[in-house]
Amino acid sequence: MKKQFAKPVFGAISAMFAITAAQAQTAPKEPGINVSYMDTKISPSQDFFKYVNGTWLEKTEIPSDRTTWGSFNELIKRTDKDVMEVLKEASKNPKYKSNTDQGKAVNLFNTYLDSIGRNKKGIEPLKPYLKKIDAIKSIADVQKYLVEMEKEGNAGFFGIYIGADDKDSSKNSVNLSPSQLGLSDKDYYTSEDKDSKEKRAKYELHVARMLQFIGESPEKAKQSAAEVLALETELSQPRLNRVERRDSRLQYNPMTIAELQKLTPAIKWNEYFAGLGITKLETVIVSEPKYMTALETVFKENKVAQWKEYLKWDLINSAASKLTTEIDNANFDFYSKTLRGAIKQLPSEERALNVVNGNVGEALGKLYVEKVFPAEAKSKAIDMIHNVITAYQNRINNLSWMSKDTKAKAIEKLNKITIKVGYPDKWKDYSALEIKSIAEGGSYFENTKNLALWRFKKSIDKLSKPVDKTEWHMSPQTVNAYYNPSYNEIVFPAAILQPPFYNYQADEAVNYGGIGAVIGHEISHGFDDSGARYNAEGNLVDWWTEDDLKQFTTLGNDLANQYSALEPLPGIHVDGHFTLGENIGDLGGINAAYDGLQLYLKQHGNPGLIDGFTPEQRFFISWATVWRTKTRDEAIKNQVKTDPHSPGMYRAYVPIQNVDAFYKAFDIKKGDKMYVEPEKRVKIW
């Protein structure tokens, strides 16, 4: 039920930029622009993506354990290698016992890898839960089960999230949302396009396969899978669609418990929240009232047997990676092979490391930053960020479509952005978390259960405290960056602040095309179609004049239409409105970074040609290099349904087609494939 902010997902946008003595010793001896990746037989005016990346595209194969491959994936793999070394060094250090943060990370890693122990246990860990599901006879029993499972991080039908209140970001509130479905987007359930229908059919077969692991006969499992699909389809229909979910205003519906009781009277809400340890609750934020009303219809149908099969499926689905190798492989077969076109799993150690990074990442983060990210790198990174912010402010002041009053509020928000670089000033406290080693009787299943209970308690504790805006939502070793609208902050973890996206040997044109545009992208999330609804304090408050908002919406629609025309596979189109926030981020980021480069060149001088390219050409080439990507067809199909980011090859050139300087840099003229008529170029920030 975690509230989403824009947008800490792989591909959101990433960058590296620490200039340090340590990097000078370890950074690869590469030029800023790797001309060997380019295909200069192709004209930049005809296909800029292939001009910059053509040779790389021709020579690169997607690894069999990946569904996409590019600059980010290469960096992630290299970062994982560094973190793995840190982890293994910690495992050999006798001071890192089970009661230390690092010891807990080691224990979690090792219990994940204990396939012998997991195979021996089989489905034994699920039996207490299956017994409880089998005993369900009424909606009251369902409620009791959901209370217990919410604490353990897994519940069907609905769940809660505790975090900053959208209208008052200084206080924590309880948010009630629909639970996740087995197929992540409602289109998979409701759309009649060929891909959705095929995936539904294969999903039903997968559900039947998984239910057999918990003892159902093939015939019973087939029947149960049909029941599960029917119920999930019913539960998908009243949900907001993927575009509507990007509008926080639609999901901010504060209600008293009495008002919530009227929406879904089958649940005794006072008892439900009391069971979770939440007392004296006056208001809950209901993200989707229409769903909660429809849920009452489901409960009134009183199809207890169907509910039980759905809860069994939800249980085995959420636990699949924690059980036997056979069950884990079956889970991979559908969610990775079928949905995203993967060929084989990541190596087990890489998967184990991902688990550690995603659950106790800061425990390793302390050691990671000591190794690769000296403290002095922060100040140099922040200097560059401030330069891009200055450029962004200049651009706001020069906007022709925005009024003076709205400009003043936009600049206030810009100047109040909190900048977080590298690693937290205050590390997470894992002292109350118990993660046992194998020798102590620990198992991966039990350790993840302890993690869920620990997270839940920390979440409940937030209700008695103001929002802690020093908290980070990514570990330092995460190759990504994000903007959080409730905190009005931009965050750049240490892993993203390194070559190749910032190369100490490269000139600033390359760095601004890489990290500079990344910085601008994250800033732009504060001013995209979603983030722009939050004010300087991180509150969901309308600070726009009516005319300015109308202009902004029109420009956003123009940009969305550009992307909706893109067809990565026959019959598969990008959803320009779903990806609008990230597309505004790219467009605003590239513009602000370009202006930041001009400020830098004015102050420090123009170095002239390097590798035969002007600074402006190197800037745009660097941007397109960042987005060199190859993706499997099934992954593309999944991406356009579920991911608010446009495919990488489009991010490489579509934003810059709206930048006049791009045309001048490469002498692009009317009639060229890269040419867009000036009146059709979208200029927002």
Decide if pLDDT at 538 tops 50: yes
The residues, any chain, with a CB within 8 Å of residue 108's CB and separated by 6 or more, are: 352, 355, 356, 359, 360, 435, 444, 447, 451
Q: What is the pLDDT of residues 134-184, one digit of tens each?
A: 999 999 999 999 999 999 988 899 999 999 999 999 999 999 999 999 998
Q: How confident is the model at residue 5 (pLDDT cuts 50, 70, 90)?
A: very low
Q: Report which residue type is found at 78.
A: R
Decide if pLDDT at 187 tops 70: yes
The residues, any chain, with a CB within 8 Å of residue 539's CB and separated by 6 or more, are: 166, 167, 168, 169
Mean local confidence (pLDDT), 619-636: 96
Q: Report which residue type is found at 186.
A: K
Kind and range of the H or E element at 68?
A: strand 68-70
The per-residue pLDDT for 6 is 40
The per-residue pLDDT for 638 is 95
Cα-to-chain-centroid distance, residue 78 = 20
For the chain, give the percent of residues with pLDDT over 90. Answer: 88
The per-residue pLDDT for 663 is 98
Q: How confident is the model at residue 376 (pLDDT cuts 50, 70, 90)?
A: low
Structure token pair of residue 338: 């079928």
Distance CA 668, CA 179 (A): 49
What pTM value is reported for the model? 0.91
Secondary structure (3-state) at 651: helix
Q: What is the pLDDT of residues 86-116, one digit of tens each?
A: 999 999 999 999 999 999 999 999 999 999 9
The residues, any chain, with a CB within 8 Å of residue 191's CB and separated by 6 or more, are: 197
Q: How confident is the model at residue 31 (pLDDT cuts 50, 70, 90)?
A: low
Decide if pLDDT at 52 tops 50: yes
> Could you give the count of Cα atoms lying within 13 Å of 531 in the half-sphere of its Cβ?
30
Q: Classify the C-alpha dihedral 363-368-370-376 as positive or negative.
A: negative
Ranking 48-52, 374-378, 432-436, 565-569 by mean pLDDT, the lowest is 374-378
The per-residue pLDDT for 258 is 97
Cα-Cα end-to-end distance for the chain = 32
Q: What is the pLDDT of residues 547-581, one digit of tens each?
A: 999 999 999 999 999 999 999 999 999 999 999 99
The per-residue pLDDT for 4 is 42
Decide if pLDDT at 499 tops 50: yes
Mean local confidence (pLDDT), 624-634: 95
* More confidently predicted of 153 and 218: 218
Task: Report, in this order, helix, strand and coil percent for the chain, each rounded to 5.
Answer: 55, 5, 35
The per-residue pLDDT for 66 is 95
Domains located in the chain, CATH noted: 21-28+48-87+349-680 (3.40.390.10), 123-322 (1.10.1380.10)
**95 touches 117 (CB < 8 A):** no
Q: What is the pLDDT of residues 318-349, one digit of tens each?
A: 999 999 999 999 999 999 999 999 999 999 99
Q: How confident is the model at residue 377 (pLDDT cuts 50, 70, 90)?
A: low
Distance CA 81, CA 83 (A): 5
pLDDT mean across residues, the chain:
93
Q: How confident is the model at residue 458 (pLDDT cuts 50, 70, 90)?
A: very high
Mean local confidence (pLDDT), 351-364: 96
In the block, which residue shows the tokens 């002095």? 376
The per-residue pLDDT for 7 is 41
How many helices, marked H, and strands, marked E, lie in the chain?
Answer: 28, 9
Q: How confident is the model at residue 11 (pLDDT cuts 50, 70, 90)?
A: very low
Q: What is the pLDDT of residues 284-316, one digit of tens each?
A: 999 999 999 999 999 999 999 999 999 999 999
In the block, which residue shows the tokens 């389809």? 233
The per-residue pLDDT for 504 is 63
In the block, which residue shows the tokens 């224990």? 107
Q: Classify the C-alpha dihedral 589-590-592-597 as positive or negative.
A: positive
Q: Is 45 exposed, middle or buried (0-12, 13-18, 19+ CB in 10 A)?
A: middle
567 φψ region: left (φ > 0), alpha (ψ -120 to 50), beta (else): beta
Contacts 24+ apart (CB under 8 A), 348-351: 348/112, 348/113, 348/115, 349/84, 349/113, 350/80, 351/112
Secondary structure (3-state) at 561: helix
Q: What are phi and psi of 631, to 5 degrees?
A: -135, 140
Cβ neighbours of 509 (radius 10 Å): 28
Helices (H), 65-185: 71-92, 101-113, 115-121, 127-134, 139-151
Q: How confident is the model at residue 502 (pLDDT cuts 50, 70, 90)?
A: confident
The residues, any chain, with a CB within 8 Å of residue 459's CB and separated by 6 or more, are: 161, 162
Ranking 320-329, 419-428, 491-500, 508-517 by mean pLDDT, the lowest is 491-500
Distance CA 51, CA 423 (A): 37
Q: What is the pLDDT of residues 257-281, one digit of tens each?
A: 999 999 999 999 999 999 999 998 9
Cα-to-chain-centroid distance, residue 152 = 22
